[in-house]
Chain A
Amino acid sequence: MNNSRGDGSARVRRLLLADDNSGEGASLSARIFNAILVAAGLTALFYVAFRNVDYHWSWDSAWRYRQKFLTGWVSTILISAAALVCSTLIGTVAALARRSRILLCRYVGATYVEIIRCTPLLVQILIFWYVLANAANLQNRYVAGVLILSAFAGAYISEIIRAGIESVPESQLESARAIGLTPPQIYRYVIFPQATRQMLPPLTGQFVSLVKDSSLLSVIAINELTKSAQELNANAHTSFEGYLPLAVAYLTITFPLSMWTRSLEKKFLYET
């Protein structure tokens, strides 16, 4: 009797508590059980919230503009992908500039990072588009959008890369020098592979932010996801029918991105 009660409480404990602090140590049934709990909680929250709003749904009229929405979704993916590549390049260059022995490079790098980090993205978008792009005779909104987004994310990425580079211990650089590597070789074979491990977790967050930040490009009339949801709502005289799919649509981009960088993290994992 006592024994079976002990078994029961142990089973409940296994269902509710992780074996350790890392979060991986749980059985499949425990993971499914807890996932269902979270999903149920979330559903309840939305149910209660929307019941009180007394909203008249008209999904039919929203559905008619699905093509526009889909186009916006694709263009957000394209803009984000291009900005992801460009911002990583800009961030790498800025991080190296800040470590350069040439003082001017350091100052230019530091000024760029501080200006970008200390002003709102919305302001940067407006100034870039209406002043700089105008002056440079850049008329393609999409190219301009990718550039602004890349410059914005690049500043944060450069700080992540700089911190990663600086996390490589002095003894490693010494060892690399002792075997006769040149400075570029030291970066390639010693610093970057070791720094990547430190950089990936914050980079994941930064890449996800970049996708979400692309929504602000709607202010300069780029037809990305947020803009198309807004237009859908305007045309179909709806609001939640545009915004709820909008949230889900961002999740379909950001969640796989987050999973992908996490799998990269595992690839670069090694003990020290």
Chain B
Amino acid sequence: MKLEIKDLHKSYDGVSVLSGTALVCEDFRCLVLVGPSGGGKTTLLRVLAGLEIPERGSVRIDDEPLDFEEAALRRHRREVGTVFQAFNLFPHLTALANITLPLNVVHGCDPGQAEARAMELLARFQLADHAGKKPAQLSGGQRQRVALVRAIAIKPKFLLFDEPTSALDPEMTAEVLDMIQDLRQEGRDLILVTHQLAFAQTVADQAAFVAEGRILESGPTEQVFSQGNTEICRSFMRRVLRFD
């Protein structure tokens, strides 16, 4: 896919979070956004998900401009699969119902077909036994995997993951990362915010380093991770990759 971001500005209560974010990324399959906390990664991803309206700037995805008018944004949200850190699932619905709700209500699927599709995906990711459970009965890793299934069940144009493993322990993190790896190998396009840099290196073909509300570096993952042009990027990578 192709992404063009120009001069994005966004602030909350006078505090600037994105200040002139710009990025051109031609032809990637998986883009990873890395950088220090509070640097604007999540806000940028939320703009791409159609959940945040910037004060200024423009976004083009696959040569289509993103229209920041509410009805257009809602159409956009229906076409992308977004997964957050946690609390993606609705606690009053079973895993299965969580997946079929958007299919039935938003995408107008036939209920029988929606259920069949959901069950097929759950089975593919070894979650079939958990279809009838409510989120509280699932482990954190299972919850996130069900959320991933919900995101792909709608046949999205692309996927957006905002630190999907940051609330999980190492074992659960591994199971979720494995699934993301699988999705990637299926050839799905995705944009991902993560602190798992070693994982990012294996899964992403392009990387962008986000700090101070701007994209300071972008390019092939290897290059951004090991030969950054800016001191702030190099020192971030030195500090973080030290333990990977």
Q: Which residues of A contact B (CB under 8 A)?
A: 169, 171-172, 174-182, 185, 189-190, 193-194, 197, 268, 270-272
| B242 touches A (CB below 8 Å) | no
Q: Are A270 and B77 touching (Cβ within 8 A)?
A: no
Q: Are B90 and A172 touching (Cβ within 8 A)?
A: yes
Q: Are B91 and A194 touching (Cβ within 8 A)?
A: yes
What are the interface flags for B135-153 relative to A under an 8 Å C-beta threshold, 1 for contact and 0 otherwise? 0110000000000001000
**Closest approach, in angstroms, between the C-beta of B232 and any C-beta of chain A?**
30
**Closest approach, in angstroms, between the C-beta of A57 and any C-beta of chain B?**
54
Question: Interface size class for chain B?
Answer: 20 to 34
B-chain residues with CB within 8 Å of residue A171 when the two chains form the complex: 84, 86-87
Q: Considering the complex, give the chain B residue whose CB is closest to the CB of A271.
A: B136
Q: Considering the complex, give the chain B residue whose CB is closest to the CB of A177.
A: B51
Q: Are B105 and A172 touching (Cβ within 8 A)?
A: no
**Closest approach, in angstroms, between the C-beta of B80 and any C-beta of chain A?**
9
What are the interface flags for B47-68 relative to A under an 8 Å C-beta threshold, 1 for contact and 0 otherwise? 0010100000000000000000
Given contacts A179-B106, A180-B106, contact A193 B49 (CB under 8 A): no
Interface residues of B in 27-81 (CB under 8 A from A): 49, 51, 74-75, 77-78
In the bound complex, CA of A180 to CA of B49 (Å):
10
A-chain residues with CB within 8 Å of residue B179 when the two chains form the complex: none
A-chain residues with CB within 8 Å of residue B77 when the two chains form the complex: 177-180
Q: Are B90 and A178 touching (Cβ within 8 A)?
A: no
**Closest approach, in angstroms, between the C-beta of A82 and any C-beta of chain B?**
30
In the bound complex, CA of A268 to CA of B93 (Å):
11
| B201 touches A (CB below 8 Å) | no
| B102 touches A (CB below 8 Å) | yes
In the bound complex, CA of A189 to CA of B92 (Å):
10
Q: List the 6 closest A-B pairs by CB distance, nearest first.
A: A180-B78, A271-B136, A171-B87, A179-B102, A178-B82, A180-B77
| B109 touches A (CB below 8 Å) | no
A-chain residues with CB within 8 Å of residue B183 when the two chains form the complex: none
Partner of B90, one of A175, A177, A197: A175
**Highest count of chain A CB atoms <10 Å: which of B49, B105, B134:** B105
Q: Considering the complex, give the chain A residue whose CB is closest to the CB of B74.
A: A180
A-chain residues with CB within 8 Å of residue B86 when the two chains form the complex: 171
In the bound complex, CA of A42 to CA of B240 (Å):
71
Interface residues of B in 89-145 (CB under 8 A from A): 89-92, 101-102, 105-106, 134, 136-137
Interface of A is mostly: helix
**Closest approach, in angstroms, between the C-beta of B192 and any C-beta of chain A?**
15
**Closest approach, in angstroms, between the C-beta of B167 and any C-beta of chain A?**
11
In the bound complex, CA of A197 to CA of B154 (Å):
29
Given contacts A180-B74, A180-B78, A194-B91, contact A174 B136 (CB under 8 A): no
A-chain residues with CB within 8 Å of residue B78 when the two chains form the complex: 179-180
Q: Are A178 and B84 touching (Cβ within 8 A)?
A: yes
A-chain residues with CB within 8 Å of residue B74 when the two chains form the complex: 180, 182
**Closest approach, in angstroms, between the C-beta of B142 and any C-beta of chain A?**
15
| B88 touches A (CB below 8 Å) | yes
**Closest approach, in angstroms, between the C-beta of A91 and any C-beta of chain B?**
21
In the bound complex, CA of A177 to CA of B46 (Å):
12
Given contacts A179-B102, A181-B106, contact A271 B89 (CB under 8 A): no
5 extra interchain contacts, Cβ-Cβ under 8 A, other than A180-B102, A189-B90?
A: A171-B87, A178-B84, A179-B106, A190-B90, A270-B91
B-chain residues with CB within 8 Å of residue A268 when the two chains form the complex: 92
What are the interface flags for B176-211 relative to A under an 8 Å C-beta threshold, 1 for contact and 0 otherwise? 000000000000000000000000000000000000
**Closest approach, in angstroms, between the C-beta of B89 and any C-beta of chain A?**
7
Q: Are B89 and A175 touching (Cβ within 8 A)?
A: yes
**Closest approach, in angstroms, between the C-beta of A257 and any C-beta of chain B?**
24
In the bound complex, CA of A204 to CA of B75 (Å):
40
In the bound complex, CA of A172 to CA of B106 (Å):
17
Q: Considering the complex, give the chain A residue whose CB is closest to the CB of B91.
A: A272
In the bound complex, CA of A180 to CA of B89 (Å):
14
Q: List 30 A-B contacts (CB under 8 A).
A: A172-B87, A172-B90, A174-B84, A175-B87, A175-B88, A175-B89, A175-B90, A176-B90, A177-B51, A178-B51, A179-B78, A179-B101, A179-B154, A180-B74, A180-B75, A180-B77, A180-B106, A181-B102, A181-B106, A182-B74, A185-B105, A189-B90, A189-B101, A189-B105, A193-B92, A270-B91, A270-B136, A271-B91, A271-B134, A271-B136
